Amino acid sequence: MMLQFNADQLKVIQLREGYHACLAPAGSGKTEVLTERIVQALARNVKADDILCLTFTNRAGLNMREKVTARLAKNFPQLFIGNLHAFCFKLLMKHYDSQHRDLINEELQKRLIRQALEQLNALLIQPHHEVLVQLQHCLTRYELKANALDGFDPQALNYCHYSIFKNEDPYALWNMEAIRNLCLPLISEARHFLKPEQKSYIRSRLRTLDQNIPDHCVKYAFVLAVYFNEAYQALKKHYHFYDYDDLIIDALVLQNQPKAKRYGWIQIDEVQDLSPLHWLLVDHLTAKDAHILILGDVNQSIYRFQGASVELTQERLGQNVHVLEENYRSPDNLVQLSNQYMASSLDSTYKITARAHKKAHPRALLHLHREFDTEHTADLIRHIHMLNQKDESTAVLLSTNRQADAFSDQLNQQELRHFFVAQNDLLSREFYLDFMAFVSALKDPENRLAWARLLWRFGNIQHYKPTHLKETEAQFATIQLVHELREHGCWLNNFINISDCYQHQQQCLIQHIQNNSFAYFDTETTGLDLALNDIVQIAAVTQDQELNLYCLSDQDLSESYKIHGIDASVLAKHGLDAKQQLHTFMQFSHDKALIAHNLKFDQAMLTENLKRYAPELSDIFFSQHKFCTLELTRQLFPNLDSYKLGHLLAHFKLDGENSHNALDDVKAGRALLNPLLAKIQQNETALSAYIAQAEKCLNAFNQNFSPLWNLAQYSIRRNGDFKIQQLFKLYTHYMQAFNPQLYEAHIDTSIEQLRVKLLNHANYHFEHIHNPYQYFDEAIPFYQTAKESDLITPNDQLIVSTIHRSKGLEFDHVILPDLTHQNFPGYMVVKKQNSESQLHQNEGHQLYKEQKRLLYVAITRAKQSLTIGSYNLKSIEQSWYKPRHYKITSFMHKHQANFESI
C-alpha cells in the first residue's frame, strides 16, 4: 500500500492551471493521485460544483468519493465523481422524466436492434428504384450528401447488406456495432457540433471497417448504417426509450444552450477509451481557461471497435505531458518483463520504463509448455489447484469468449469452483432480469420498465394480449400498455390486491372517501433516520373527526425543532407515553384506510416505532389499506414543477397550510383529496374503455403477482428480511410454485450461480446495513445496474474471464493459458492485414498493434505472478495428414527466457 507520493506524483498533484496530460501505466497509483488532487482542490476552496472528475467505471468513482469524504470528514453533494454516462444521467434525469422516457436495458436494446434489422431487410426486397428513393430520403434527413448514391449499384448494396447486417457470425455482429458507434456522431444531433477535421477522422475510420467490402462499396455500408440507425431511433421513440448513446447526445445538445453549466476544474481518467463523441461532449463541458488534467495509458487502448483509438488520444495529449514511472502493483521481475515487452512490441512514442516499488519475486514468471494441449490443460489445472490453496486471487484470462467458455467448462468438470465472467452476462439473463424487475418495483412504483416486465411475466400477455396490440411482440406490448395506462393517469401498481381490474386502487380510494372510511395521517419526528428516530407527533383526520397526539421522547430535538417547532416544553405539556399514543392512534384508525402525503416515509416511521413501542399493533397496521397522495398526484398530474404539499395547495388554490405541524398538514392533505378525486372521475370513462382492451391481462396480473407482492411486503416490513439474497430466495421459491417450467429451465445454471454470487457479494459489501430503508437506497441501485464482473469480491479466489473484461482489475496471480500464435494475433486481424485493399491493410495494422496492447493489459494485471501456457500439437488433430504445429505467439517469443519452466 502506498503511504506517500513520489516526486512524479507530487508534480501532477500540485498542478493548478492549464491543460495537462499524464501517462499513467498500470499500477502507477493514478487513482490515489486523482483523489489527492480533489482533496487539495477542495481544501483550496475550489467550489465542489466546479469540479468534474470522470472515471472509467462508477465503481472507481465510488471508491474515490469515499476516500475524499473520509479525508475531509465531510460530504460534498455537488461534487461529481463517476463515469461519463452517470454524469449525463444526472444532468438529464428531470428532462427524461418529464418526457416519460426510460433507459433501455441491454436485453431490450437487442430486441429493438433485431426489429430495426428486420425493417432494413424488408427495404432491400423492394424494387431497386424504391430502395434508392428511400435511402436518398434518409440521407437528406440527416443533411448528408444524397449524391453518395450516384451510379447506384444494387448488387454492391446487397453484398454490403449481407456482409454486415445479415451475416450472423460473431465478427459480423462486432462489425455492425463498430460501424454504428463510429457513424453515430454523423447521423445524430451531435453532427451540428462536429468540426470539419472531426468529421474527416470519423469518415476515414468508416472506410476501413470491413475487409470483405471492396473500397468502391464502402459508401453503401455507410448508407445502410444510416437507414438502420433511423429505424432503431424511431423504435426507441415509439416505446419511449433512451439508450446510453442518447445520454451523450442529449447532454451535448443541452450543453450548447446559452446558460449551460461549464466546469473550470476537470480531470478525466482512462482517456484512451474515449470515442470521438465522448471527446466532443468533454469539449462542451469545459469552461474557458479551465484547468484540465487527462490521465491514461495509450498502451492500454483496446476499444477500437467502440470508436476509441490511439490516434485520437495522441491528438489530445497536448504539450504538457507528465509520466508516472513507479509501479506499486507488481514485483520487479514482472515490471521488467512489461518494460521489455513495451520496448519491443508497443509504440515507441509512449515507451515508459517503469520502476518497481516491490522487490523481485522468485517465482513471478512461469511457463507451462507441453507437447499436447490435453496434457497442457491437465497440468495447468493442477497448477491452479496449487495456487487455489492460498488465500489469494487467481485469474485465468483468455483472448476470446469461446476460449473462456471452454476453459470454464474444463474447470467445472474438475469440480473446481470459480467465478466465470461470461459473454452472456449472468446479470443480463432472463431470470435475473425478472427478479430485478420485482426488486425494482418494490423500490419504485414509477419504474415503468420494471412494472412492464412484471406484467409480461405475470399477466399471461401471450394469451391475453390487448386487442390493439395484437401485432406487437409480447414484451413490447406490455411496455406500451404500461405507458398508455400512465397516459390515462394510472400506474400498474393500481392493479394489485383488487377484486377486479375495473375496481382498481383509484376506485377503491373513491369508495373509502365516499364512505368516510379513511383517516388522513401525518407524523413529525426527531429526525429522518427511519430505523432510529422517534415520532413526536401523530395527527389524523376523517371527514368529520380529527386527532392530534404528542409522544414523549428522550431524543435530541434541537435540529428537528427547526422544521416542526416541537421542543421538550411542548412534549412536556401535551405529550404522553409513545405506547399509549400509538394505541390511541390505532384505535382511531384501525377500521379505516390510511392516507398520507409521502406515505413511504410515514409508513416506515410508524412501522419502526410500533416495533419498538407497541409491537402488538404491528400486524394490524400492516394489514390496513393505504394510499399515498404524493404518488397519486404524480399519476394524475405528471408534469407539475413540484409535488410538495405546500406547492400543491397553491397550484390547486386550496385552503390550508403546510406548516410541518402534523395537524395542519393532514387538514391540507384532506383538502388535496378533492382535486384528485375530481381528476379520477374525469379520467374514468376513457380509462375504463382502455382497461376493457386489456381486461384479461390485468386480471391475470393481479391474480398471479399479488401473492408475491404481499409476501415481499410482509417479509420486508414485518420480518426484516429485506436483503438481496433474502428477496432472491423468496422470489425463487414463489416462481418454483407459480411457473415450474421457467424455474426448471434455469435451475441448473442461472439460478444457482446467481444465488452463490449474490450471496457472496451481498455478504461482503452490504451485510453491515441493518436498516431496510438504507439498504434499498444504497444496495439495490448497485444491483440494478451491475454487470457480472462487478460481483467479484476478494473472497473469489479463482476467476475466468476475457482480457477485455479484466481491464481495471488486479489479481495476485494471472494465468494466460493459451498464448499460442493462433490466438495472438486473432484470425480476423490477420485476414484484414492480408486484404487486397490498402485501406483495410492499414486498419489491419492498427488492429494488430491493438492485439499487442491487449496482451500488455493481460500481463500487467498481476500483483505476484504471471503464468503463460503453450503446446505443440492438439490431440484432436493427431489423425490429420498434416497436423498443425502450434508455437508461442511471436509477441512473447523473445521474452520466453525470462520465464521459469514448470
323, 296 contact by CB (below 8 A):
no
Cα separation, 284 vs 291, whole angstroms: 14
Can you read off the three cell numbers belonging to residue 446? Answer: 414509477
Please report which confidence band the pLDDT of residue 786 belongs to, taking 50, 70 and 90 as the band edges.
confident
Peptide bond into 883 cis (omega under 30): no
What is the rounded CA–CA span in Å between residue 473 and residue 224?
25
Residue 314, classified by CB atoms within 10 Å of its CB into exposed (0-12), middle (13-18) or buried (19+), is: middle
Dump pLDDT digits (tens) for 862-886: 999 999 999 999 999 888 888 899 9
CA dist 428 to 400, 434, 510, 521, 807, Å?
Answer: 19, 10, 41, 42, 20
Q: What percent of the chain stands above pLDDT 90?
A: 58
What's the pLDDT band for 1 if we cut at 50, 70, 90? very low
What pLDDT shows up at residue 7? 95
Based on the number of CB atoms within 10 Å of its own CB, is 508 exposed (0-12), middle (13-18) or buried (19 or more)? middle
For 612, half-sphere exposure in the C-beta direction (CA atoms, 13 angstrom radius) is 15
DSSP labels for 435-469? HHHHHHHHH-TT-HHHHHHHHHHHTTTTTS--GGG
**Whether pLDDT at 233 is above 70:** yes
How far apart, in Å, are the Cα atoms of 872 and each of 107, 459, 771, 898? 41, 57, 58, 20
Give Cα 528 distance to the centre of its chain.
28
User: Residue 502 pLDDT > 80, yes or no?
Assistant: yes
How far from 73 is each of 14, 70, 76, 688, CA to CA, in Å?
A: 22, 5, 10, 55
- HEC per residue, 265-289: EEEECCHHHCCHHHHHHHHHHEEEE
Give the pLDDT confidence of 574-611 residue by residue, as tens digits.
999 999 999 999 999 999 999 999 999 999 999 999 99
* Residue given cell 514448470 in the structure block: 902
Q: Band of the pLDDT at 160, cuts 50, 70, 90?
A: confident
Please spell the DSSP secondary structure of 476-526, one letter per residue: HHHHHHHHHHHHTT--GGGGSS-SSGGG-HHHHHHHHHHTT-EEEEEEEES
Q: What is the pLDDT of residue 530?
A: 83
Q: Which residues contact 249 (CB under 8 A, 6 or more apart)?
A: 184, 188, 189, 190, 277
Instruction: Please state at what angle helix 695-717 crosses helix 724-738, rounded to 10 degrees.
Output: 140
> What is the average pLDDT across 615-636?
96
pLDDT at 178: 66
CA atoms within 13 A on the CB side of 15: 26
In this prediction, residue 785 carries a pLDDT of 78
Query: Amino acid identity, residue 177?
Result: E
Burial (CB < 10 A; 0-12, 13-18, 19+), residue 277, is: buried
> Which pLDDT score, from 0 to 100, does residue 163 have?
74
Q: pTM of the full predicted structure?
A: 0.83
* Angle at 304 (CA atoms; ends 303, 307), nearest 5 degrees: 100
Residue 39: which of 1, 4, 5, 74 has the closest Cα? Answer: 74
pLDDT at position 325: 95
Residue count (the chain): 902
**pLDDT at 836 > cutoff 80:** no
Q: How far apart are CA 843 and CA 840, in angstroms?
A: 5
Residue 37: the pLDDT is 96
Q: Give the tens place of pLDDT for each residue, 72-98.
A: 888 788 899 988 988 998 888 877 777
Task: Give the cell for residue 358.
Answer: 516491490
- Strands, DSSP E only, in 225-364? 241-242, 263-268, 286-296, 321-323, 326-331, 355-358
Contacts of 152 (CB under 8 A, 6+ apart): 128, 132
Distance, in Å, from the CA atom of 46 to the CA atom of 264, rounded to the nearest integer, reads 9
pLDDT of residue 192: 79
Whole-number Å distance between alpha carbons of 739 and 166? 35
Share of the chain above pLDDT 70, in %: 95
Q: If pLDDT is split at 50, 70 and 90, which confidence band does 106 have? A: confident
Q: What is the pLDDT of residues 367-412, one digit of tens each?
A: 999 999 989 999 999 999 898 888 899 999 999 888 999 999 999 9
- The pLDDT score that the predictor gives to residue 215 is 65
Over residues 527-548, mean pLDDT: 94
- Asked if the model's pLDDT at residue 2 lies above 50, the reply is no
pLDDT at 294: 97
More confident residue, 594 or 158: 594
pLDDT in tens, 112-146: 988 998 999 999 999 988 999 999 888 887 777 66
When the pLDDT of each residue in the chain is averaged and rounded to a whole number, the result is 89
What's the mean pLDDT in 883-899?
93
pLDDT grade, residue 896 (50/70/90)?
Answer: very high
Q: What is the pLDDT of residue 169?
A: 57
- Are 90 and 61 in contact by the 8 Å Cβ rule? The answer is no
pLDDT in tens, 410-453: 999 998 999 999 888 888 888 899 999 999 999 989 889 999 99
User: 281-319, pLDDT tens digit by residue?
Assistant: 999 999 999 999 999 999 999 988 778 888 889 999 999
The yes-or-no verdict on residue 194 having pLDDT over 90 is: no
> What distance in Å separates the CA atoms of residue 105 and residue 116, rounded to the nearest whole number?
16
What is the rounded distance in angstroms from the CA atom of residue 224 to the CA atom of residue 227? 5
Question: Which residues make beta-bridge pairs with 594?
Answer: 519, 626
Name the residue with cell 434455469. Answer: 746
Tell me, what DSSP letter sits at residue 104? Answer: P
In what helix (H) or strand (E) does residue 58 lie, and over which residues does it extend? Answer: helix 58-72
Nearest CA among 519, 522, 492 for reference residue 505: 492
* Grid cell 418494490 in the structure block, residue: 442
